[in-house]
Amino acid sequence: MNDRQLRYFEKQLVDWKNSILAEAQGTLNQLQDGPMREPDLNDRASSETDWGIELRTRDRQRKLIAKIESALRRITEGEYGYCQVTGEPISLARLRARPIATMTLEAQERHERQERVSRDD
């Protein structure tokens, strides 16, 4: 992978991370605005369910940020774009679709098949 391609992916990853952080800040601001004061019990339950979903989403995004930071670290260390299992280059198409990918498509499929077999046992 050439330097121009690395910069492209680095920008994608940084932009993605900043977008997630901005959304998280919006959620935090809404939480700090105060408690929900829904007069109707059904409305209150619905709002609490919505907040539960929102908080689970933020937790998944927190984990995603860790993966993005790992990808950025791999760029810095010169390891980005190579499969951590086989050492082969990861296709640009796969990296465009999932910039945090750590395995080639074939290695990922093999890994998922093995997980399924292990889970079934």
* Boundaries of domain holding 108: 83-121
What are the tens digits of pLDDT across the range 55-78? 888 889 999 999 999 999 999 999
Indicate whether 75 and 112 sit together in one domain.
no
What are the tens digits of pLDDT across the range 19-42? 999 988 877 777 666 556 667 777
Indicate whether 40 and 27 sit together in one domain.
yes
Cα torsion 17, 20, 25, 28: sign: negative
Confidence at residue 82, expressed as pLDDT on a 0 to 100 scale: 97
Instruction: State the total domains in the chain.
Output: 2
pTM value is 0.78
Do 90 and 81 touch, CB atoms closer than 8 A?
yes
Indicate whether 51 and 88 sit together in one domain.
no
Confidence at residue 104, expressed as pLDDT on a 0 to 100 scale: 96
